[in-house]
């Protein structure tokens, strides 16, 4: 598993932008709820309608506390501001592909590394820290953590907002899309993507 204290900057990142990883804890939940809310409201415009955004927050887009309990959800913080959550994301050996604690279709059973793909889960960047490569940095960190957990193949259920980034990082559409029903009667497209490490 990657070492949260010894992450190194990639050559393409400016030297002054130093970020570190740490595991998320249950005490982070209020800040994570706020991060997800701001990220979806500001970064999903143009990909989803206002009704879809409102109906998804706190339902599809919300913290999954099982990831935190499993120790597979992480926070990126700037080295000069350790109290700040600039981005968050994780991976999972559970069968649930996406969604917060209240989302439908949760499958907490464990995946088998010999036959199943691990899932990349819930990568969100705070709008104030967007366009700094934190989403791809978190993605790579989670990929290495999943590899350390015994998985060589990955999958994700991506928002329309994230598909382009994930495809640039080597993920390929599987041909499967979900239409997640929201509590306000609207629905949300989720794109399935795969990657072999």
Whole-model pTM: value is: 0.89
Is pLDDT at 73 greater than 90 in this prediction?
yes
pLDDT at site 104: 83
Sorted by where each starts, the structural domains of the chain and their CATH numbers stand as 19-155 (3.40.630.30)
- DSSP-derived 3-state class of residue 110: strand
> If you average pLDDT over every residue of the chain, what do you get?
91
pLDDT digits (tens, 9 = 90+) for 90-126: 999 999 999 999 888 889 999 999 999 999 999 999 9
- Of residues 131, 140, 116, 143, the one with CA closest to residue 10: 140
Is pLDDT at 75 greater than 50 in this prediction?
yes
Terminal C-alpha separation, the chain: 14
Tell me the sheet residues that pair with 90.
73, 121
Is pLDDT at 10 greater than 50 in this prediction?
no
* pLDDT band of 12, cuts 50, 70, 90: very low
């Amino acid at each position: 598993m990657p070492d949260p204290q010894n992450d190194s900057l990639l050559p393409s990142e400016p030297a002054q932008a130093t970020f570190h990883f740490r595991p998320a804890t249950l005490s982070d939940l209020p800040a994570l709820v706020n991060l997800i809310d701001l990220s979806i409201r500001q970064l999903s415009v143009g990909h989803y309608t206002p009704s879809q955004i409102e109906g998804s927050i706190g339902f599809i887009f919300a913290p999954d506390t099982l990831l935190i309990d499993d120790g597979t959800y992480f926070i990126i913080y700037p080295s000069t501001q350790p109290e700040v959550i600039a981005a968050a994301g994780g991976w999972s050996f559970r069968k649930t592909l996406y969604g917060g604690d209240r989302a439908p279709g949760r499958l907490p059973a464990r995946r088998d590394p010999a036959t199943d793909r691990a899932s990349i889960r819930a990568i969100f960047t705070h709008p104030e820290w967007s366009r700094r490569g934190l989403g791809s940095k978190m993605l790579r960190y989670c990929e290495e953590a999943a590899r350390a957990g015994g998985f060589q193949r990955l999958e994700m259920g991506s928002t329309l907002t994230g598909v382009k980034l994930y495809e640039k990082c080597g993920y390929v559409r599987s041909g499967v899309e979900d239409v997640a029903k929201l509590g306000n009667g609207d629905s949300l497209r989720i794109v399935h993507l795969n990657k072999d490490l």
